[in-house]
Amino acid sequence: MNIEISNLHFAYPTGVQALRGISLTIESGEQVAIVGQNGAGKTTLVKHLNGLLQPTSGTVQIGDWNTKEHSVAKMARRVGYVFQNPDDQLFSKNVGIEVAFGPRNLGMNAEQVQRQVNEALAMTELSDKTETNPYDLSATWRKMVALASVIAMDTDIVIFDEPTTGQDAANIARIANVIKVLRERGKTVITITHDIDFCGENFARVIAMSQGRILLDGKANDALGQEDVLATTYVDPPQLTRLGKRLGFKETVRNEEEFLAGLKK
Amino acid sequence: MAIVELKNVTYKYPLTDTPVLKNINAQVNEGEFVAVIGPNGAGKSTLCYTVAGFVPHFFKGEITGTVEVAGSESSKSNLHEWVLNVGLAFQNPFNQISGAKYTVFEEIAFGLENIGVPREEMIQRVNDAMKLTGISELADRSPYSLSGGQQQRVALTSILVMRPKVLVLDEPTSQMDPIGTREVFGVIRALAEKGMTVILAEHKVEWIANFADRVVALHEGEIIADGKPSNVLTSDLLAEKGFGLSRYTSVARKAKAMGMWQKERLPVTLDEAVEGFTLTLPSPKGRGE
């Protein structure tokens, strides 16, 4: 299911022009990271994908659905959205009920719901916590509950808003693994992140935004190598990309494997 | 001279069986900038609360050992006396913002109002503090209309304005972009150089390496390493325990195993990594081809 955004403009009621002409195609199964300084319009852009925000002008098309013609509740069948702060989306008395809420609302039968819940809990390593109240879990695990509750809806498109904020190394690795499994299942994953090392290690395509526009859009190795352009939206290339550049590597590297290969050349 | 001293501190939250801090012994000198690292659940926030007096005065629970700041002992003081010496900026600014004030300016003045600072001085101090953290233009906004990163700056500013002797910061930049992080670390470093003592719980290792004087590593409630950033952040022990380390350190550890890192010590910063790997490379690549 492709995403087609054409000439999207959005102004908040306060008059702030948050998006100034975004045109973008994301194909089914792509893994895309969106980076850029605070206020660049990243969250405003992704909130258009499930109809939480409607364009001031321009169109957003999810497969054959124009977001203007469908309710947010209906868009939720195609686009799942994991909020930055898990506490903005969790409300049930235990993890199992929380994660079942989404698929149940999509009208899946009990058996399907259970299967989706079990799979989502396994993917997020929460299988032993189904009876726990989400608010008795640490912030780390609440984040995983938020992920699971969206994954369980089995949408073709999944959006993560800043998934690694405040997470430790072990949990960042868990989140990276969730993204990998979603990739293997052919899901489209769109992730907003300030964690540029995480971006380099997990995403094939990178979009950099600045002041409501797309500054860069391309293969991760091409985009992340453009230090000067990224600097205009206050993004530093990943640590290993910078290191490779300082050492005079001819090719842009973005993870350990590529760096070590570059070192041997 | 030690301004913060923890002796044999063990602490359990109410209704729990397992201590979150286990026999913590540490001293922090006046003007020192100490970073506390560790996986989530290691006890970093609890340690911050303990130095700041919230443990045990606010959270209750069971504490043994002694916590001293500037010569007074926590268990023998009240929280309202304690906060004059120690300021804490919470990890989640939403939990810190009072909810009782309509503007950022008033929010930042809240602490000063409570300790009876004269009006003129209060206005001056609030303006100075906002300028320092770069939020002067937010003065008339509602604290709740701000982004996460902006709220974190407000939370930090409302502590700085109190001019505590010891500043305790629990992941103060977790919701900021890289430029925001850089600015806040710059402000903290400048304060430490002026003599403020800083204790910072943080995951962002590359920043710690460049800014902190010392690193304390917590693991399951215990201090497992304490020393210079360049020593602690490259130790094999931390790598084994699953601490998040800089990419430079991790990749150099792998390169070392492959015979492609020759120096004794692993790098933490970009400059150290460039220096070390340059020794491995036969000649500078990409030049004079």
* DSSP per residue, B30-61: TT-EEEEE--TTSSHHHHHHHHTTHHHHTT--
Residue of B13, B36, B40, B278 to mutate when probing chain A, most A C-beta within 10 A: B40
Tell me whether A176 touches chain B (CB under 8 Å). Answer: no
Contact A131, A105 (CB under 8 A): no
Domain extent listing, chain A = 3-78+155-264
Residue B173 contacts by C-beta under 8 Å, 6 or more apart in sequence?
Answer: B149, B152, B180, B181, B184, B185, B202, B204, B207
Higher per-residue pLDDT: A85 or B217: B217
- Domain B1-85+164-229: give its CATH superfamily: P-loop containing nucleotide triphosphate hydrolases (3.40.50.300)
Kindly provide the ipTM of the predicted complex, given to two decimals: 0.85
Q: How far off is chain A from B66, nearest CA to CA, in Å?
A: 27
Region of poorest pLDDT, from A71-80, A163-172, A239-248: A163-172
Kindly indicate the confidence band of residue A6, based on its pLDDT and cuts at 50, 70 and 90. very high
| Nearest CA among B170, B197, B11 for reference residue B86 | B197
Tell me whether A242 touches chain B (CB under 8 Å). Answer: yes
SS3 at position B289 = coil
Interface of A with B in 221-240 (CB under 8 A): 234-236, 238-240
**A167/B277 Cβ within 8 A:** no
Q: What is the dihedral of CA B86, B106, B187, A232, to 10 degrees?
A: 150
Show the low-confidence residues of chain B (pLDDT under 70).
Answer: 283-289
Average pLDDT of the residues in A168-184:
94
User: In a 10 Å sphere around its CB, with 0-12 CB exposed, 13-18 middle and 19+ buried, how is residue B38 labelled?
Assistant: buried
Q: Match 């004794």 to its residue by tokens.
A: B264
Contact B1, B12 (CB under 8 A): no
Residue A236 DSSP code = P
Task: Say yes or no to pLDDT of A218 above 90.
Answer: yes
> What is the C-alpha separation between A131 and B281, in angstroms, rounded?
55
**B285/A249 Cβ within 8 A:** yes
Which sign does the torsion angle of CA A168, A169, A170, A176 carry?
Answer: positive
For B98-150, write each residue's pLDDT tens digit: 878 889 999 999 999 999 999 999 999 999 999 999 999 999 999 888 877 88
Task: Say yes or no to pLDDT of A120 above 50.
Answer: yes
Q: Report residue A4 as tokens.
A: 């087609």
SS3 at position A173 = helix
> What is the C-alpha separation between B132 and B141, in angstroms, rounded?
18
Average pLDDT of the residues in A81-96:
88
* A77: β partners: none
Tell me whether A131 touches chain B (CB under 8 Å). Answer: no
| Nearest CA among A105, A146, A166, A50 for reference residue B41 | A166
Q: What percent of chain A has pLDDT over 70?
A: 100
| Alpha-carbon distance values, B250 to A257, A265, B37, B94 (Å) | 12, 20, 17, 34
Contact A141, A95 (CB under 8 A): no
SS3 at position B188 = helix
Query: For A27-138, where are the alpha helices, taking DSSP H only?
Result: 42-46, 72-75, 95-105, 110-123
| Alpha-carbon distance values, B61 to B13, B70, B92 (Å) | 5, 24, 22
Tell me whether A85 touches chain B (CB under 8 Å). Answer: yes
**pLDDT value for A135:** 86
> What is the C-alpha separation between B27 and B47, in angstroms, rounded?
13
Helices B247-257 and A239-246, interaxial angle, to 10°? 60
**A242/B247 Cβ within 8 A:** no
* Chain B residues whose beta carbon lies within 8 Å of the beta carbon of residue A165: 174-175
Higher per-residue pLDDT: A10 or A138: A10
Q: How far off is chain B from A131, nearest CA to CA, in Å?
A: 19
Average pLDDT of the residues in A214-227:
95
Domain extent listing, chain B = 1-85+164-229, 100-160
The dihedrals phi and psi of A6, each to the nearest 5 degrees, come to -130, 125
Tell me whether A167 touches chain B (CB under 8 Å). Answer: yes
Q: How far off is chain B from A245, nearest CA to CA, in Å?
A: 10
| Nearest CA among A250, A239, A199, A256 for reference residue B261 | A256
CA B112 to chain centre: 23
Q: Match 């008033």 to its residue by tokens.
A: B106
**pLDDT value for B145:** 84
Residue B127 contacts by C-beta under 8 Å, 6 or more apart in sequence?
Answer: B136
CATH architecture, domain defined by A3-78+155-264: 3-Layer(aba) Sandwich (3.40)
* A66: β partners: A61
Residue of B247, B253, B256, B281 to mutate when probing chain A, most A C-beta within 10 A: B247
Q: How many residues does chain A have?
A: 265
> What is the C-alpha separation between A20 and A11, in angstroms, rounded?
9
**A37/B251 Cβ within 8 A:** no
Q: How far off is chain B from A33, nearest CA to CA, in Å?
A: 15
Residue of A137, A202, A263, A265 to mutate when probing chain B, most B C-beta within 10 A: A263
**A39/B148 Cβ within 8 A:** no
**pLDDT value for B283:** 61
Strand order across the beta sheet in which B214-219 lies: B86-89, B166-170, B197-201, B33-37, B214-219, B222-227
- What is the chain A residue with the closest CA to B239? A169
Contact A237, A247 (CB under 8 A): no
Q: How many residues does chain B have?
A: 289
Q: How far off is chain B from A138, nearest CA to CA, in Å?
A: 8
* Chain B residues whose beta carbon lies within 8 Å of the beta carbon of residue A142: none
**A264/B260 Cβ within 8 A:** yes
**pLDDT value for B289:** 38
> What is the C-alpha separation between B247 and A191, in angstroms, rounded?
21
**A169/B243 Cβ within 8 A:** yes
User: In a 10 Å sphere around its CB, with 0-12 CB exposed, 13-18 middle and 19+ buried, how is residue B162 labelled?
Assistant: buried
Cα angle at B202 between A234 and A206, to 5 degrees?
35
> What is the C-alpha separation between B248 and B235, in angstroms, rounded?
13
* Chain A residues whose beta carbon lies within 8 Å of the beta carbon of residue B39: 168-170
